[in-house]
């Protein structure tokens, strides 16, 4: 059996090696390392995949979130409502801009931001809601967009884990996550569902004005070369990553299919086990399984993780410490938050290997080891 890994980017690469190698060499031969046609072609192709007007590439997903907040004109003292159960990048950039992250609960089934909690947390200072499509399952965007329009708030989707998820509204329209809010942000970190061979990220919007602002901010605030209209930053997707991503984009749906198939295998193997809750899948979307995360009922999560490790089965805890308990937010008084669902999840979730290259033999081995421990 091939040794197990949380993600297997090497085997995935070997299957498209010829195309990737040629694309990388093409960039080197062109000597156009920054900007240029390769980057704009990829941005256009990714916008088309999303059926969205503008895709603005940048250096990473964290920058994408920061640039989105800057483009929306959020000011020091403004508040943004976010889940505490997320990767730190979602909220860190708010703090960096002196915007107050207001942490709310997640839905205990989907692990995504709870719309009821969002509405309760709105104050006169609230400017935006930042839902995170955690593990690849979309937040309840229909409810969130409704709250945002009633309270005149912006929505920035953190779609770093959700790229490619098709979300259907009750009126029958379907949109890709990342194109529902005013701005969507994603990451091309290598382990993400559309992963580069280095860092990368992008913002999405249908709004021409916001697109222009984000383009400027990502490029030192310049409207034309050496004319700097606003304070910005330097955040670029380099041409080599764009060339690689453009090839991988052609395989994205196939990659998502492979992840969903692996998730189905796990779901079936764990079905009916009362100590294991398999990932929830809302009927109005296509979970893209960036992670396959079990919720344990009564089993010792950390002991399971250690048992798996002893059997060469990797597993991960996303995330052991929620944002409101991170030291970095002490000055925001965040330890005073009472978020029992979030706290409970951090002690009970465990993510198993899921990627495009998993085979049945590997998955059966993982399942057997999990069940062996659970039965003890
Ligand atoms: C990966 C990730 C980010 C940040 O992306 P980087 O490209 O690593 O900066 C932000 N939010 C979430 C939920 C992520 O998973």
The tens place of each residue's pLDDT in the chain, 376 residues long, gives 889 999 999 999 999 999 999 999 999 999 999 999 999 999 999 999 999 999 999 999 999 999 999 999 999 999 999 999 999 998 999 999 999 999 999 999 999 999 999 999 999 999 999 999 999 999 999 999 999 999 999 999 999 999 999 999 999 999 999 999 999 999 999 999 999 999 999 999 999 999 999 999 999 999 888 899 999 999 999 999 999 999 999 999 999 999 999 999 999 999 999 999 999 999 999 999 999 999 999 999 999 999 999 999 999 999 999 999 999 888 877 778 999 999 999 999 999 999 999 999 999 999 999 999 998 7
Atom of ligand 1 nearest to the CA of 199: 7
Q: Which residues contact 351 (CB under 8 A, 6 or more apart)?
A: 6, 135, 291, 292, 293, 294, 315, 316, 317, 318
Question: Which residue puts its alpha carbon closest to atom 6 of ligand 1?
Answer: 61
Q: Distance, CA 368 to ligand 1 centroid (Å)?
A: 32
17-30 helix and 239-249 helix, angle to the nearest 10 degrees: 150
Q: Distance, CA 84 to ligand 1 centroid (Å)?
A: 14
Could you tell me the residue ranges of all domains in the chain?
9-104+111-249, 252-374
Edge to edge, what strands does the sheet with 79-83 contain? 54-58, 201-205, 183-187, 154-158, 126-129, 79-83, 100-104
User: CA–CA distance from 178 to each of 37, 141, 158, 159, 300 (Å)?
Assistant: 24, 10, 7, 5, 36
Report the distance separating Cα 286 and Cα 275, nearest Å: 25
- pTM of this prediction? 0.97
Same fold, 9-104+111-249 and 252-374: no
Report the distance separating Cα 299 and Cα 373, nearest Å: 9
3-state secondary structure of 131: coil
Q: What CATH number is given for 9-104+111-249 in this structure? A: 3.40.640.10
Predicted pLDDT of residue 329: 87
> Quick one: which of 257, 289, 264, 255 has its CA closest to 367?
264
Q: Distance, CA 160 to ligand 1 centroid (Å)?
A: 5
Pairing of strands 100-104, 79-83: parallel
Please, which residues bridge with residue 174 across strands?
168
Decide if 118 contacts 76 (C-beta within 8 A): no
Q: Distance, CA 295 to ligand 1 centroid (Å)?
A: 22
> Quick one: which of 155, 171, 185 has its CA closest to 55?
185
Task: State the fold for domain 252-374.
Answer: 3.90.1150
Q: Which residues contact 324 (CB under 8 A, 6 or more apart)?
A: 84, 103, 334, 335, 337, 339, 342
> Quick one: which of 191, 211, 200, 212 has its CA closest to 243?
200
Task: Convert 62-78 to b/e letters by CB count within 10 Å (16 or more is b).
Answer: bbbbbbbbbbbebeeeb
Residue list, ligand 1 pocket, CB within 6 Å: 60-62, 86-87, 89-90, 132, 158, 160-161, 187, 189, 199, 201
Q: Distance, CA 195 to ligand 1 centroid (Å)?
A: 11
In whole angstroms, how large is the CA radius of gyration of the chain? 21
> What dihedral angle (degrees, nearest 10) is formed by the CA atoms of 181, 36, 67, 329?
110
Report the distance separating Cα 57 and Cα 218, nearest Å: 9
Which H or E run contains 14?
A: helix 9-15
Please, which residues bridge with residue 188 across strands?
none
């Amino acid at each position: 059996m091939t040794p197990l890994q949380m993600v297997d980017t090497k085997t995935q690469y070997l299957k498209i090696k010829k195309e990737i190698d040629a694309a990388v060499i093409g960039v080197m031969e062109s000597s156009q390392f920054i900007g240029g046609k390769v980057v704009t072609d990829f941005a256009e192709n990714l916008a088309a995949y999303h059926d969205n007007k503008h895709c603005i590439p940048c250096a990473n997903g964290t920058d994408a979130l920061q640039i989105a907040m800057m483009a929306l004109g959020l000011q020091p003292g403004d508040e943004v409502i976010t889940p505490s159960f997320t990767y730190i990048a979602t909220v860190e950039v708010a703090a960096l801009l002196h915007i107050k992250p207001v942490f709310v609960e997640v839905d205990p089934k989907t692990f995504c931001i709870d719309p009821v909690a969002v509405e309760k947390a709105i104050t006169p200072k609230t400017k935006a809601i930042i839902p995170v499509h955690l593990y690849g399952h979309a937040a309840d965007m229909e409810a969130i967009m409704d709250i945002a329009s009633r309270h005149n708030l912006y929505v920035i989707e953190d779609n770093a884990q959700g790229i490619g998820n098709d979300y259907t509204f009750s009126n029958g329209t379907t949109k890709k996550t990342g194109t529902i809010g005013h701005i969507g942000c994603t990451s091309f970190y290598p382990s993400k569902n559309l992963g580069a061979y280095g860092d990368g990220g992008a913002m999405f919007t249908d709004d021409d004005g916001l697109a222009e602002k984000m383009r400027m901010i990502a490029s030192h605030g310049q409207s034309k070369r050496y004319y700097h209209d606003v304070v910005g930053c330097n955040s670029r997707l380099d041409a080599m990553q764009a060339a690689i991503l453009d090839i991988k984009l052609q395989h994205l749906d196939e990659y998502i299919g492979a992840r969903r198939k692996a998730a189905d295998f796990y779901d079936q193997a764990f079905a009916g086990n009362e100590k294991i809750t398999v990932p929830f899948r809302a009927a109005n979307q296509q979970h893209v399984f960036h992670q396959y995360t079990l919720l344990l009922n009564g089993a010792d999560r950390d002991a399971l993780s250690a048992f798996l490790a002893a059997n060469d089965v990797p597993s991960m805890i996303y995330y052991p410490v929620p944002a409101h308990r991170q030291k970095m937010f002490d000055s925001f008084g965040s330890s005073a938050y009472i978020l029992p669902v979030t706290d409970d999840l951090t002690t009970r979730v465990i993510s198993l290997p899921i990627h495009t290259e998993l085979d049945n033999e590997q998955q059966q081995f993982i399942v057997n080891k999990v069940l062996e421990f659970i039965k003890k």
